[in-house]
Amino acid sequence: MARKNKPAKTAPAKPRTPAPAAKPWEHAKSGEGSASDPLAARFVESLSYDRRLYKHDIAGSIVHARMLNVVGLIKPKELKEIERGLSEIGKEIEAAGADYGAAWPGWKVELEDVHMCIEAALIEKIGDAGRKLHTGRSRNDQVAADLMFWIRDSIWGLGKKFSPLFRALFTLAERDGGIVMPAYTHLQRAQPIVVGGELIAWAQAFSRSLDRFDALYELLEFPLGSGAIAGSSLGIDRKETAWFAERANLLDDFDKPDLTRSSIDGTASRDMACDFLYALAMTAMTLSRWAEQWIIYASTEFSFITLDNRYTTGSSMMPQKRNPDMLELIRGRCGNVYGHLVALLTILKGLPIGYNRDLQEDKRHVFAAYDIVSDSIEMAARIVATTKFNEAKIAQGLDRGFLDATSLAEYLVTKGVPFRTAHQVVGALVRSCESRGYHKLGQLTLDDFNAACAAASQPKVCANDVYDWLGPENVVKRYRTYGNAGVSGFAEQLKAWKERLK
């Protein structure tokens, strides 16, 4: 019996995935444009790292809207709607949790960046009033302004991070600052100093970092209102925008004309980002040098300092180890900061004048370098605040290395011996000590000193007072020059720093 052919089963139709909508700023293109290719959409986005600009973008949009209202391009009612909508968006982002409100549903990668996401959410919230916000403005001048606002706030933030580091240095200096220790040049023993003298030196080095950041305020220029490249034919008043920005605490003292003077340069320049990165790199360099010094001091061979256990780590194999990993990471991450500076300089070097999409990459490097340096300053403050100098260990070998040799030469100068001759005499005395197995110049007799002077055609000038110039403890009390690293210089500088910190 022949089988009847059964009708073939028809597979159920698959639901069609809706085609992505074209981006709202790509109306001159047919189709969906880059939104239709997931890789292209992901390739052009900066939302994954520029979300941290959301506060500055909202604030910049509000002052831009206030200017638009003043010049008659939007109505007072529309300004109120824009301000209300942007305020609500800011609160929603803050309520969305960590990582700059990562859970906020308004972050849509197909919209590319923080600016378009916030604008799209505003339009969805308030309608046509939101569509008027971008009047006379481009993402080009918008992002340049947002980055300037962010750099300004970050400078303030770094200043606050430095304060605990300075306090920790001076607290340590007050406690351990009088300990006499060797100073080093070429990593060889040079002259005796007090611990406080070296701590003041680090404070001075870090203070220059603050000075560099402060100097950026004089260089920041306000680009908002420059448009895409050529400005606008509308009645935009850039000074009015700057006035509103100053009163919103986004800018400082715009009585001086710090508007960008060229709409082309204002949207194309990233000098402020390079200057900020350079200041960060110099700070990282100083932190790295300090970390290296203390890594050496914490070694068993030196044992000048003891680090708190919270800021050391152990070994997976050697149970006795207390490794200074936090200091080593501060030292190591300096190279990352250098890399971010060089990367941005390299991005900029081949760009023609005017905005190019390469400039989107600036924020990757600025934000990453800032995070590294900010964390490193905070870690340095905690390490300093919990470190102790080991006076007994330092004192054990303090008489080694002829730290008082320069002091002896200067003693001879006070007796009328030319310095170059005094240098020669002391060098001969050091050799004499070494040949006899002595490790201190103070072990020599007056006859030894005067014999060395006579050998250099100098009279017998040494008397018993020569011993007052010898020994590290005596030497650190004799320094007289301003800024010296001995007892008087340390006391003077510590007092000055306390006044400065007030």
Q: And the tokens for 267? A: 């949207």
Beta bridge partners of 283: none
Which phi and psi (to 5°) does residue 394 adopt? -65, -40
Q: Using the 8-state DSSP alphabet, how is residue 323 labeled?
A: B
Do the first three CATH levels of 33-137 and 140-178+188-218+236-395 match, i.e. the same topology?
Answer: no
Which one-letter amino acid corresponds to residue 306?
T
pLDDT at 23: 64
pLDDT tens digit string along 210-221?
Answer: 999 999 988 889
Q: Label each residue of 426-478 as H, E or C.
A: HHHHHHHHHHHCCCCHHHCCHHHHHHHHHHCCCCCCCCHHHHHHCCHHHHHHH
User: What is 399-501's CATH number, 3.40.30.10, 1.50.10.20, 1.10.40.30, 1.10.8.10?
Assistant: 1.10.40.30
Element holding 119 (H helix, E strand): helix 114-126
Residue type, 357: R
Q: How far apart are CA 332 and CA 341, in angstroms?
A: 16
DSSP 379-438: HHHHHHHT-EE-HHHHHHTTTTT-TTHHHHHHHHHHTT--HHHHHHHHHHHHHHHHHHT-
Q: Could you confirm whether 315 is annotated as catalytic?
A: yes
Is 27 among the residues known to form the active site? no
pLDDT at 24: 64
Catalytic, out of 48, 87, 163, 315: 315
Residue found by looking up tokens 């003693």 in the block: 411
Q: Which residue in the list 27, 30, 186, 457 is annotated as catalytic?
A: 186
pLDDT confidence of residue 7: 45
Give pLDDT tens digits along the chain (502 positions).
344 444 444 444 444 444 445 566 555 555 566 667 888 888 999 999 999 999 999 999 999 999 999 999 999 999 999 999 999 999 999 999 999 999 999 999 999 999 999 999 999 999 999 999 999 999 999 999 999 999 999 999 999 999 999 999 999 999 999 999 999 999 999 999 999 999 999 999 999 999 999 999 888 899 999 999 999 999 999 999 999 999 998 987 655 558 999 999 999 999 999 999 999 999 999 999 999 999 999 999 999 999 999 999 998 899 899 999 999 999 999 999 999 999 999 999 999 999 999 999 999 999 999 999 999 999 999 999 999 999 999 999 899 999 999 999 999 999 999 999 999 999 999 999 999 999 999 999 999 999 999 999 999 899 999 999 999 999 999 999 999 999 999 999 999 998 888 7
Residue pair 32/22 in contact by the 8 Å Cβ criterion: yes
What are the residue boundaries of the structural domains of the chain, listed by start? 33-137, 140-178+188-218+236-395, 399-501
Instruction: Specify the CATH number for 33-137; select among 1.10.275.10, 3.40.50.620, 1.10.3720.10, 3.90.550.10.
Output: 1.10.275.10
Joined together, the tokens standing for residue 30 give 């047919």
C-beta separation of 22 from 33 below 8 A: yes
The whole-number pLDDT of residue 258 equals 85
pLDDT value of position 501 = 82
User: For the domain 140-178+188-218+236-395, what is the CATH code?
Assistant: 1.20.200.10
Q: Is residue 345 classed as helix, strand or coil in its secondary structure?
A: helix
